[in-house]
Structure formats: C-alpha cells, structure tokens
C-alpha cells in the first residue's frame, strides 16, 4: 500500500491513443473524499494533462455503489474545525477541482450509485456526465451548517443556472437520475447495467475525432462560458487547426469516404 | 383601511424560526399591480431583510385565482403616459424587484392562476418558483406597445436564456404551467390543490437547514450568476461558516444521527 | 443567373408590415454553404436591417431536404487550406453570422431536414428556431480535424451551456429534433408537414406586436446575454417606448378591447 492507492489510474489503448480511467478508490468508505484523495486527484490530473498520447479521461468511483457520498466527515474535527483550517483544506479541494477543468483532455464522469456532496462537485468539473438510472445526487450541506464555497458554486451555477442551484442548496434533497437530467446536471441517463457501454461509446467517439480539435474545443468552450475577454491571439487560435496534419488527413479521408487516421499533430 | 393593506405580511413559527408570507392583496382586481403595491413590496422586503429570526419568505397573491394579471392599466393615462413618468414609475418597480433579490432570506414564489406581466416579473426575482398545474404565464407587452426594461430583461434572460426569452416576448402568448417548466421558468409544477403543501414542504426543508448557510448560498449564487469579480474577501466568506456554532451543531448532530438544532449563529 | 441567386429574398405583406424570407439557395448541393453564399447572407441581412417596413425575417434552405449540410468541402483545398486562408474565410463567415444578430428585426430559423455544421451555426444566430420532427442537427467537425472558432462557440454555448456544447462537439453525432429540443437548440418541434404553418403562426404573432417593441426586445436581450455593461443611456432606452404613438395605440386598443393597429412609430 502506498499513498497513491486512494486514487488509481488505469490506461487502455483505444485506436491511435490512450484513455485513462481515474478511480476514486476507497470502496470501504464508499469512496468518501479525504484530504489525501483531494490532493491525489489534483496531482493525477496535472500529470495526465502533460500526456501527449492521451485522448480522453474517465473519472469514476471504485465499484458500482458510488462515485462518493461526499467529504469524509470524520476529518472535520481535526482538519476542518474552523475557518482557518477550512481555508487551507478548501484551497486544496479547489485546486484539484480546477486541475480537472484545466486538464486539456476531454474528461467524462462515469456515475453510478451515490454522487453526493464533494463527489458531485468533482463530477461537475468534468466536461460531460453519464450516469446510471439508479444514481443519486445532491448537496445537502445546509444540514451540516456548511456552505459551498465560491469555486463550487461557480461550477454548479454554470451548469444549472441560479434557480436550480438554489433549489438544490435550499432543499438539500438527495434526488434521482431522472431529476438530475431534468435539472441539466447530467448529459445522459442509461440503465445501470449499460453505464459502462454508454461511457465506452462516448469515449470511442472522442477517440475517433482529431485530438487537438477536442482539446481546442474544451479550451474555447470554458473561456467563452467564463465570459473571458478574448484577445486577438485567442481569436487566431480558432484557425490554428488549418495548419495541422490532422486537418489535411480529415479532409482527405472525408473526400475519399474512409475513416481518418488522426495522429494528434 | 390603511395604505399598507395592498400588501399583507403574515408570520408563522416553523421550528426555531419564523416564515413570512407576503401577499399581493387586491383580490377585486386579481391583484393587478398599482404604484402603491410596487412601493409597498419594496418596503416590505427591506423590512424583512432586517429580521434576524426569519428563515424563509413566501410571495403570493391573495386568493387562488392569480398572483396577478400584470400592471394596473388604468394607471397608465395618469402615471405612465410618457417616458418621463414611466422612468420614475419604472425606477420604483425596479427598486422593489431588486429588494426581493437583495433580501438575504430565501424567497419562494407560490404561484396559482394568472402570473402574467408584472406579476411574473416579481416571481422571477424570487429564488424558486412552485406553481399549480392551472397556472398561466406570459409577458404579452408587445400588444400594448410596451417593452420590458433592462432590469426585467436581465431577470428573464438570467433564468431562461436569450432564445426562450425572445420567444416569450415576440410571441406574446399566455402559456400553461407545463410549458413554463419546460422553459425553465418554474422549479416545480404540482396539481393546483397541492400547491400549498408543496410550498410548505420546501419551506420546511429550508427551515431545517442552517439559516446562515441558506443566506450565504443566496448571496454566492447571485454574485456568481451576475459574473461579479470576486475579491479575496468574497472568497474568504466561503469558509466563514466553519466558525459558526451551527456548523459545530451540524457536524455533531450528523455524527450522533439526530436532527440538528440550528440557531442561526 | 446572377451572383445573388445563391441567396434569395422573398417578401410578403402581413398586416401593416412586410415579412422577408431569406433562402439559402443551392438545392443541387443541399444548400451547402460556399464562400459566395456566406458573403451574400451578410449583405442581405445588412440590407434588410435598413428596411423600416420589415416586421420579421425567416431564414430557411431551398426545398424541404435541408437548411444545409454545412460547408462546401470542395472549397477547402483552394480557399481554406491553411490558417491564413481560413482566417480570411472565417472573418467573412463570422461577419455574416454577426449581421443576423445585429439585424434589428426578429429573425426566425425555419428548419426542415439536415441542419448541420455551418447551417446549424447560421440557425444559432437567429432569435428562434422552429423545426420539423425529421430534422437532423450536429457539428461533426472533429472528424474533419476542424474546430468551431470562438464566434461560433459563443453562439453555441450561449444557447445550450458548456456541458451540452462539449457533448455535441466531442461526440460529433448527428442527432434528431427531439434531442435538439431537449438540448435547448430549438424552440419548437412540429410534424414536418406543419413546419410552415408553425412558422407562419409565430410570424403572425410577431407582426401583431408593436414593431419597435420587438426590435427593442431583441437589442435588450442580446445586450444582457452578452453581459454588456449598461450605460445610463441604455437604461433610459427601456422607457423610450412610452413616447411612441404605438404605445398610445396599444393602451387605447386594450381599453377598448379591439386589436391594436401598430404603425411602427
């Protein structure tokens, strides 16, 4: 056992590229997030960001019972017992959440079972969310006397808007997958036994596209969603794809009606 | 009869706290909003904002026929007959709308029957909207030669986005509750005879949560939704809850598996 | 045949005003967008913007098979073969897209059949989208090694948010009308044989409203959606309608319970 075991990374070859699966791995606690896990999640996504061969990342919990039930409350007494401790702990959480968003590769959350509190917040940082029909969602922190800090609220409001965000936070309910879809929290709900196939199907589509294009799209979408002022350099990046070999490959393959063989350059 | 009668405030004890119900009270006109009512709505929400004991506010119309049909058109000839008069009247309207948003307590709109024009605009300023299946919505002002001014457009676009906002404004239709839910205008549609129970259930959940947490969430969500630049002080406020007694109570109650007894401190 | 034939403009009288239909007219190519069409679309919307008599514009493809399948890929080798060429071509595209948004009149996209790639991007610039049940949507550009540039990403994210935008771009699927409605891409899905009637019904409602009001609403909604800083002059424009003759007409007609006869002044 090493400290890295609380977060596992598995790799698989898909087409020309590699897909990484990041697993929150504390199944004996339903993958409740402790400080070590938050730290490792950030480190893992920073490492994966550097990996040129990567086409896609899947984030999931170990087992089928949960992505996670939220924070490990047993740590509160020693590690988050006042605003000073909580600020340090929160800084770590938010840096790890941001590492998912800043990772240039597409990230899909694979959700089955409980996806509540911190686990839902991690899922919110992914680019897409695919879940089983038996999944459960919610952020019932007002029952703990606890708030979602600004970076977490930003992720939630950015996805579902202010009225649904306040409904989730005020009512503090745990709700099902159909309601999560209706609220805009997840992209897709499938029968529990089809979650892996549904995620695999999306991963395959992502891997069939030009890798640089997927990375640019991720970057562009979040810049726009954040209301960032776009520079002339940003605007120019919208045309950089036309100088790639994959663009030439894509157009030739389209004309010849065969599948393109993208190399990521 | 005093001038305050056009808006009633009722109070009820729920758990440790108090819930206020604000009633638009001109049932003989289906609660059509006149200048006196706009003024009183603003005053009432400013007063309620100061009330430490409050846990939640419900906004509704008197009776079950309407929140309201919109502005009292009989006032137009004398009070809103040109842009100068309208600017003064509009300033009053918008200040009252803003008083709902600025009120730190959770505000739920309880909607049954007509909720059109100014009444819908008031409902948009609330944090959540729960309505009966027989409710009717719309802003048919282009039939009057009238525009929604910027503060009203901001509330509408913030909730439903530009395409649905323009559909509502261009088509000027009055539409039903199912369509309002589909459009993202309301959080929940229930049978008309269950509106009071549905609102009571949400109020109860809000009152069961830590009051300061609900207030912080309201503040954070709207700051984020407005795209406000967040200061270091704002970010720090995300951790202030950890210094409250209610946080200690919440965690202890969770560990002991009993209901927390929040005091709002 | 003149160069203008790739985009047709038809006019029809509706009530006091005129409705223009802009037709992407290259039916032998399913209306695939070439450079000439992009240029003409921009010119046409700039011309229509100047037209005082206009009440509404409908954008559609020639025939019932497609708004369009996207860009004409046969042009890539000569006109968009590197970032320099693409920047020039893209500047033209984005100026034409912006001309739809900047045109002060309401613009409705009438969608039947394929509405993919550039055709979907044009539809996104319209204020509302009404489509037949057999319509198909998608932006499968990652299969071409091609990105959506920033102005196109802004239109998509502004309508469907970041998570659905990335789903569309990553998965590169062509999807049906029901999914497009679920994703917030279209306002309304009707049976294919009822598309014209549905569009006509919306056009009629728009034409029944005060023209200046519809123009103001378009302007206000997009300013707000873009998060623009509002000046005192902007705010004042929210009350300018009260000085119009159409406002007097609207209120008088409402009081007299007859249909208003708006002149656009």
Q: Does some domain include residue A76?
A: yes
Residue in chain B lying closest to A156 (CA): B221
Q: Does some domain include residue C104?
A: yes
| Min distance C246 CA to chain A CA atoms (Å) | 35
Q: How far apart are alpha carbons C250 and A169 in whole angstroms?
A: 43
Across the interface, whether the CB atoms of B169 and C210 are under 8 A apart is answered no
Condensed to tens digits (0 to 9), the pLDDT of residues C47-97 reads 999 999 999 999 999 999 999 998 888 898 899 999 999 999 999 999 999
Which residue, among C142, C168, C178, C225, would best test binding to A if mutated, counting the most A CBs under 10 Å from its CB?
A: C142
Q: Does some domain include residue B183?
A: yes
Is B131 in the same domain as B249? no
Q: Buried b vs exposed e over A187-197: b needs ≥16 C-beta within 10 Å?
A: bbbbebeebbe
pLDDT at B1: 42
Given a cut of 80, whether residue A2 has pLDDT beyond it is: no
Across the interface, whether the CB atoms of A235 and C149 are under 8 A apart is answered yes
pTM of the entire structure? 0.97
pLDDT at B4: 54
Across the interface, whether the CB atoms of A145 and B250 are under 8 A apart is answered yes
Sort out which chain A residues have CB atoms less than 8 A from C71's CB and list them. Answer: none
Is B240 in the same domain as B136? no
Q: Does some domain include residue C262?
A: no
Q: How confident is the model at residue A74 (pLDDT cuts 50, 70, 90)?
A: confident
pLDDT at A3: 46
Is B126 in the same domain as B246? no
Is B164 in the same domain as B34? yes
Residue in chain C lying closest to B90 (CA): C239
The 8-class DSSP code of residue C6 comes to G
Region C200-219: mean pLDDT is: 98
Which residue, among C73, C79, C93, C147, would best test binding to A if mutated, counting the most A CBs under 10 Å from its CB?
A: C147
Nearest to A32 by CA among A117, A113, A93, A149: A117
Q: Does some domain include residue C89?
A: yes
Condensed to tens digits (0 to 9), the pLDDT of residues A127-137 reads 999 999 999 99
Q: How far apart are alpha carbons C250 and B140 in whole angstroms?
A: 11
Is B46 in the same domain as B110? yes
Q: Does some domain include residue A261?
A: no
Is A134 in the same domain as A252? no
Sort out which chain A residues have CB atoms less than 8 A from C157's CB and list them. Answer: 221, 224-225
CB-nearest partner of C142 from A127, A209, A222: A209
Q: Does some domain include residue B264?
A: no
| Min distance B236 CA to chain A CA atoms (Å) | 7
Residue in chain A lying closest to C149 (CA): A238
Sign of dihedral through CA atoms A99, A102, A105, A108?
A: positive
Q: How confident is the model at residue A27 (pLDDT cuts 50, 70, 90)?
A: very high
Residue in chain A lying closest to B204 (CA): A171
CB-nearest partner of A240 from C73, C83, C163: C83
pLDDT at C4: 54
pLDDT at C103: 98
Stated as kind and residue range, the H or E segment containing B46 is: helix B35-49
Q: How confident is the model at residue C2 (pLDDT cuts 50, 70, 90)?
A: low
Is C189 in the same domain as C115? yes
Across the interface, whether the CB atoms of C166 and A106 are under 8 A apart is answered yes
Helix (H, G, I), strand (E, B) or coil at B219: helix
- Examine the fold and report which residue of B173, B188, B207 is the final residue of a domain before the chain moves on: B207
Q: Buried b vs exposed e over B4-23: b needs ≥16 C-beta within 10 Å?
A: eebbebeeeeeeebbbbbbb
| Min distance C214 CA to chain B CA atoms (Å) | 6
Which residue, among A142, A149, A185, A223, would best test binding to B if mutated, counting the most B CBs under 10 Å from its CB?
A: A142
Across the interface, whether the CB atoms of C169 and A221 are under 8 A apart is answered yes
Q: How confident is the model at residue B29 (pLDDT cuts 50, 70, 90)?
A: very high
Condensed to tens digits (0 to 9), the pLDDT of residues C221-261 reads 999 999 989 999 999 999 999 999 999 999 999 999 999 99
Q: How far apart are alpha carbons A115 and A61 in whole angstroms?
A: 9
Q: Is the ipTM of this complex over 0.95?
A: yes
Across the interface, whether the CB atoms of A83 and B239 are under 8 A apart is answered yes
Region B158-164: mean pLDDT is: 98
Is A81 in the same domain as A95? yes
Across the interface, whether the CB atoms of B238 and A161 are under 8 A apart is answered no
| Min distance A161 CA to chain B CA atoms (Å) | 7
Q: How confident is the model at residue B3 (pLDDT cuts 50, 70, 90)?
A: very low
pLDDT at C71: 87
Q: Does some domain include residue A201?
A: yes
pLDDT at B74: 87
Comparing A72-81, B114-123, B252-261, C176-185, which segment has the lowest mean pLDDT?
A72-81
Q: How far apart are alpha carbons B52 and A67 in whole angstroms?
A: 38
pLDDT at B2: 54
Sort out which chain A residues have CB atoms less than 8 A from B255's CB and list them. Answer: 73
Given a cut of 80, whether residue A101 has pLDDT beyond it is: yes
Is A182 in the same domain as A245? no
Domain count, chain B: 2
Which range marks the domain in which residue A32 is found?
3-207
CB-nearest partner of B213 from A83, A147, A173: A147
Given a cut of 80, whether residue B89 has pLDDT beyond it is: yes
Given a cut of 50, whether residue A176 has pLDDT beyond it is: yes
For position C243, which CATH number holds?
A: 1.10.12.10
| Min distance C104 CA to chain B CA atoms (Å) | 13
| Min distance A80 CA to chain C CA atoms (Å) | 32
Q: How confident is the model at residue B215 (pLDDT cuts 50, 70, 90)?
A: very high
Stated as kind and residue range, the H or E segment containing B136 is: strand B136-138
Region C13-27: mean pLDDT is: 94
| Beta bridge mates, A116 | A138
pLDDT at A77: 87
Mean pLDDT, chain B, rounded, equals 96
Mean pLDDT, chain C, rounded, equals 96
Region A212-237: mean pLDDT is: 96
For position B83, which CATH number holds?
A: 3.90.226.10
C28 is written with which tokens?
Answer: 């032998």
Cβ-based neighbour number of residue C134 at 10 Å: 17
Is A42 in the same domain as A128? yes
Is B182 in the same domain as B234? no
Q: How confident is the model at residue C143 (pLDDT cuts 50, 70, 90)?
A: very high
Given a cut of 60, whether residue C3 has pLDDT beyond it is: no
Is A176 in the same domain as A47? yes
């Amino acid at each position: 056992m090493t400290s890295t075991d609380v977060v596992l990374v598995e790799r698989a070859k898909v087409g020309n590229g590699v897909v990484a699966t990041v697993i929150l791995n504390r199944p004996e606690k339903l993958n409740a997030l402790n400080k070590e896990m938050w730290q490792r999640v950030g480190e893992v996504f920073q490492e994966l960001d550097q990996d040129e061969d990567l086409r896609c990342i899947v984030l999931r919990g170990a087992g089928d019972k949960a992505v996670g039930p939220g924070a490990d409350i047993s740590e509160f007494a020693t590690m988050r017992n006042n605003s000073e401790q909580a600020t340090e702990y929160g800084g770590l959480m938010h840096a790890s959440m941001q590492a998912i968003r800043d990772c240039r590769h597409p990230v899909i959350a694979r959700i089955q079972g409980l996806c509540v509190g911190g686990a839902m917040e991690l899922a919110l940082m992914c680019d897409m969310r695919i879940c089983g029909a038996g999944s459960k969602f919610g952020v019932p922190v007002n029952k703990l006397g606890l708030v979602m800090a600004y970076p977490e609220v930003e992720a939630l409001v950015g996805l579902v808007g202010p009225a649904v965000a306040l409904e989730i936070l005020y009512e503090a309910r745990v709700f099902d997958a159909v309601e999560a879809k209706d609220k805009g929290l997840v992209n897709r709900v499938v029968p529990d036994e089809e979650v892996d196939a549904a995620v695999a199907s999306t991963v395959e589509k992502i891997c069939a596209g030009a890798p640089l294009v997927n990375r640019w799209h991720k970057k562009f979408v979040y810049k726009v969603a954040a209301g960032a002022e776009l520079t002339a350099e940003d605007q120019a990046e919208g045309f950089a794809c036309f100088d790639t070999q994959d663009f030439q490959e894509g157009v030739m393959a389209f004309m010849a009606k065969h599948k393109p063989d993208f190399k990521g350059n």
